[in-house]
Amino acid sequence: MNLFQLVWYNRPLPDMSNGEIDYGPLAGLIGVWKGDKGTDIAPEPDGTENTPYRETITYTAIGDVKNAGEQVLTALHYRQIVQRKSDDEVFHDQTGYWMWDAAELTVMHSLQIPRAVSVLAGGHFNGETNEAGQAIIEVSASAESNDWKIIESPFMAAKASTRSFSQKIVVGDGNMSYSQTTLVDIYGSPEFLHTDENELVLG
């Protein structure tokens, strides 16, 4: 390690997780979540695969950014590790950011999965809650949208194209549930409904 690297790796990191930052509806997500009531429905050449799963999702507050000198976004980074209940094998690994634009009341979710597919989903949040006072956060993206889009490799575009993605998260008081639908054009089905849902508790 040279002197530059020594100084760089030991530099003090900015504390961007102080209480002054407004994460809006995302604030309730910060922390480590675990849940074992997951259900995945995924495409198979001869039909569907239904897999019960457990998972850990870690959301980390990373502070705010300013875009073009005017748009302020606050952001969480997350990592989602999903294991089959039958044998504990990790069969899905996902990462990305959740962002909150308080001025526009807009929530954004950028996600990457290691199939060479990335999504930038968006939605409005105007204080929606359920009867228990939990925040209801909804985002979506589609191949046809001009605003919230999907990017995929040439292989995936030809063989297993993601046409749309929608997700609903309900979070509050240390509990979270989500449901999501990914529409995939695969194995001759132009609109295969690949779905995932789970209930998690804050660790």
- Point out which residues bind ligand HEM (CB under 6 A): 40, 42-44, 49, 51, 53, 82, 91-92, 111, 113, 115, 117, 119, 160, 162, 165, 182, 184, 186, 194, 196
- SS3 readout for the chain: CCHHHHHHHCCCCCCCCCCCCCCHHHHHHCEEEEEEEEEEEEEECCEEEEEEEEEEEEEEEEEEEEECCCEEEEEEEEEEEEEECCCCCEEEEEEEEEEEECCCCEEEEEEEECCCEEEEEEEECCCCECCCCCEEEEEEEECCCCCCCEEECHHHHHHEEEEEEEEEEEEECCEEEEEEEEEEEECCEEEEEEEEEEEEEEC
Q: Which residue's Cβ has the minimum distance to ligand HEM?
A: 42
Which residue lies nearer to ligand HEM by CB, 30 or 42? 42
Least separation in angstroms between residue 115's CB and ligand HEM is 6
Least separation in angstroms between residue 198's CB and ligand HEM is 7
Least separation in angstroms between residue 92's CB and ligand HEM is 4
Which residue lies nearer to ligand HEM by CB, 30 or 91? 91
Which residue lies nearer to ligand HEM by CB, 73 or 139? 139
Which residue lies nearer to ligand HEM by CB, 17 or 95? 95
Least separation in angstroms between residue 66's CB and ligand HEM is 28
